[in-house]
Amino acid sequence: MPPKPRRKRSFGGLRQLPSKRWQANYTAPDGLIYNAPHTFDTSLDAEAWLAAERRKISMDLWVPPSEALVKPVTFGEYSYRWLEDRPLKPRTRQHYQAILDSLLLPTFEDVALKHLTPASVRRWYTDQGASRPTYRAHAYGLLRTILGTAVTDEIISSNPCTIRGAGASKRAVKIKPATLPELEAIVAGMPERLRLMVLLASWCGMRFGELAELRRQDIDLKHGVVRVRRGVTRVKGQVVIGTPKTTAGIRDVAVPPHLLPLVEAHLNEHTAPGREALLFPADDGTSNLATSTLYRAYYPARAAAGREDLRWHDLRHTGAVLAAQTGATLAELMGRLGHSSPAAALRYQHVARGRDAEIAEALSRIARGE
């Protein structure tokens, strides 16, 4: 039977061993983790020992115990503290915890940070295989970031993550943007109250979480913009409303003029009164739309358009490519899509440039009088 997990505490940690006795430890002012010299009958006894050690520290009376009691900081202990101290969005925190639990801790949990080497990291990376390249890249990137912080904290002298390019992954499936006739077919196949959602996702490049939290007050028909200020996510079944993932996500998106009459009609016919009314609520009219509800309508609509491969997020990709085809600069694409780095926006520009051969062929048809 494995030991029970450590209790989350403001100072130190407690863990019940298989013997039912309790173990206690804490991180001292010198950055090292010290275990109690013995185990305890009850958690209260262990907490009393921790309280005594904390009192010594607060009164500046603490001195390091003998070297025999020093326990090197393990990756498991350090990553737990790293995640707790990091100011992360709930969805990102959940993602990092899942990566730790499934890919990193099974190998590195009990390994002392100072014993991690480039060779051991390379062996772990190789053992992951190539079946899930994106997830492996995310895991390597997280490992490299955590150990980079350990270097900053002077716990280790150098970062053992030295595999070039391991934190990046190639897209497993090449996205094929929707054509305008396909978009038209998808919109026609959606319930009326959700048609504008498809149009804003594709023509304005908005994320699902941004659309699901869009409210009447966020629409400025006079200036023709949608003000993106919030997003909604679901973390372990709980609805979480907050700011977009990055500061760049807070933006005003100009609505193409041909959509403005449709936006106004949607506000009149499918949006409740009041500034706080959701544009695309769930069936009850007041709570945020869930992805499962959307997919029940979207999957048949995309099938009718002959695009069963088109994920909802690919509509945003379609909108980005359409914007790039207008000649939008990299900075303009970043602003419109809410990207904080050029990498993603640059990808859409590359896709747009890929049409050069089609343009050349069209020019030849003009020359031939076709």
Mean pLDDT of 50-63: 88
Position 254, amino acid:
A
pLDDT digit string, tens, across residues 285-340: 899 999 999 999 999 999 999 999 999 999 998 888 888 777 777 777 788 888 76
Give me the pLDDT at residue 68, please.
41
One DSSP character per residue, 181-192 reads: HHHHHHHHHS-H
Claim to verify: residue 197 and residue 272 sit in the same structural domain: yes
Active site residue 339: yes
Residue 348 annotated as catalytic: yes
Catalytic residue among 230, 266, 270, 339: 339
Q: Is 313 a catalytic residue?
A: yes
Residue 258 resides in a domain:
yes
Q: Report yes or no on whether pTM surpasses 0.85.
A: no
Query: Residues 136, 138, 195, 207: which is the catalytic one?
Result: 207
Q: Residue 159 domain-assigned? A: no
For the chain, the domain total comes to: 3
Are 113 and 147 in contact by the 8 Å Cβ rule? The answer is yes
Q: Which of 141, 72, 148 is nearest to 104 (CA)?
A: 141
CA 207 – CA 212 distance, rounded (Å): 9
313, 350, 353, 355: which one is catalytic? 313
The mean predicted confidence, pLDDT, of the chain is 85
Mean pLDDT over 139-165 rounds to 91
Given 251, 316, 317, 336, the catalytic residue: 316
Cα-Cα-Cα-Cα torsion 362, 363, 369, 370, nearest 10 degrees, comes to 0
363 is a domain residue: no
Cα–Cα dist 249/298, whole Å: 25
Is 353 within the bounds of a domain? Answer: yes
Q: 239: part of which helix (H) or strand (E)?
A: strand 238-242
Q: Note whether 205 and 280 are same-domain residues.
A: yes
- 175 part of a folded domain: no
Last residue of a domain, one of 152, 170, 188: 152
Residue 58 is assigned to a structural domain of this protein: yes
Q: Is residue 167 domain-resident? A: no
Boundary residue ending a domain (71, 91, 113): 71
Same domain, 193 and 261: yes
User: Is 207 labeled as catalytic in the residue annotation?
Assistant: yes
Domain that holds residue 306: 180-357
pLDDT at 3 over 50: no
CATH number, domain of 314, equals 1.10.443.10
> How big is the chain, counted in residues?
370
Q: What is the CATH number of the domain that holds 65?
A: 3.30.730
With a cut of 80, say whether residue 236 has pLDDT above it.
no
* Same domain membership, residue 327 and residue 217: yes
Same domain, 46 and 79: no
Together in a domain, 215 and 276: yes
Domain shared by 328 and 191, yes or no = yes
Cα–Cα distance measured from residue 210 to residue 208, given in angstroms and rounded to the nearest whole number: 5
Lowest mean pLDDT among 90-99, 214-223, 274-283: 90-99
Active-site annotation holds for 38: no
Measured CA distances, 285 to 206, 238, 270 (Å): 21, 18, 10
Backbone angles phi and psi of 27, in degrees to 5: -95, 125
Count CB-CB contacts under 10 A for residue 345: 23
Structure tokens at 100: 């730790």
